Amino acid sequence: PKPVVAIVGRPNVGKSTLFNRIVGGRVAIVEDQPGVTRDRLYQTAEWAGRTFTLVDTGGLDLAEAGDIPGRVRRQVALAIDEADAVLFLVDGRTGLTPTDQEVAALLRRTRKPVLLVVNKIENFQRAGEWTEFYRLGLGEPIPVSAAQGMNTGDLLDRLVAVL
Ligand code: GDP
Ligand code: MG
């Protein structure tokens, strides 16, 4: 069976944009309105000869009740349960938030591989935008721009190395 990789993170950090970037087509719909994802959530992706199933967990929000931190927590618990590896996406423009801290606390408890990915980094000179995420205790933050495709190849190299 193909390994399952889940993208988790707060609404609006760019989960669907990264999902589309990795699967190579506009599959999930990206919305400016936080937390909105329609269409398909599961897609097969391939990198460096490795095939895996990628899950955009944000879309699961729609069927769920409750506030955003609560929904994000459930989404993360589900991902830890069902995925073989987790991409934890945070927003380098917004910076570290309390919800990111909560999610990190949950992810630090799993033995499954977790990659900490800082999205919306279009200028790699501004290291402060992603190095602050070291504080989450999940290892080295990987800066990417899902929208521009910057550094996403490096992210995928690291991902397939842990699958
Ligand atoms: P989701 O709610 O986590 O699925 O986030 P979306 O993928 O829907 O993106 C939310 C917003 O962030 C949209 O307005 C995107 O265009 C924007 N966005 C996503 N990735 C990037 C990026 O790499 N750079 C910038 N500047 N904006 C991005
Ligand atoms: Mg989405």
Substitution candidate for ligand 1 out of 7, 8, 10, 12 with most atoms within 8 A of CB: 12
Round to whole Å and give the CA distance between 73 and 62: 14
User: In which band, very low, low, confident or very high, does the pLDDT at 31 lie, cut at 50, 70 and 90?
Assistant: low
Asked whether residue 13 is marked as a ligand-binding residue, the answer is: yes
Per-residue pLDDT, 78: 86
Q: Report the amino acid identity of residue 142.
A: I
49: tokens are 């000869």
| Ligand 1: nearest atom to the Cα of 56 | 4
Least confident of 12-21, 67-76, 112-121, 143-152: 67-76
Mention the CATH class of domain 4-162: alpha beta
What pLDDT, on a 0 to 100 scale, did the predictor assign at position 72? Answer: 81
Quick check: 24 pLDDT over 90? Answer: no
Residues with CB under 6 A from ligand 1: 9, 11-17, 30-32, 34-35, 37, 58, 119-120, 145-147
Residue whose pair of structure tokens reads 């801290």 in the numeric block? 101
Mean pLDDT, residues 68-73? 80
Choose which residue among 7, 13, 17 to substitute to test ligand 1 binding: the one with the highest number of ligand atoms within 8 A of its C-beta: 17
Strands (E), 48-160: 50-56, 85-91, 114-119, 142-143
CA-to-CA separations, 51 to 44, 151, 157, in angstroms, rounded: 7, 20, 13
Domain boundaries, the chain: 4-162
pTM for the structure as a whole = 0.90
Q: How far is the CA of 21 from the centre of ligand 2 (A)?
A: 13
The predicted pLDDT at position 102 comes to 92
Cα angle for residues 124, 33, 39 (degrees, 5° grid): 95
Mean predicted confidence (pLDDT) in 127-136: 94
The helix (run of H) or strand (run of E) holding residue 45 is: strand 42-47
pLDDT tens digits, 88-113? 999 999 999 999 999 999 999 999 99
Instruction: Give residue-wise pLDDT tens across range 34-62.
Output: 554 544 478 889 899 999 999 888 755 44
Report how far apart, in Å, the C-alpha atoms of 25 and of each of 72, 86, 149 are: 25, 21, 12
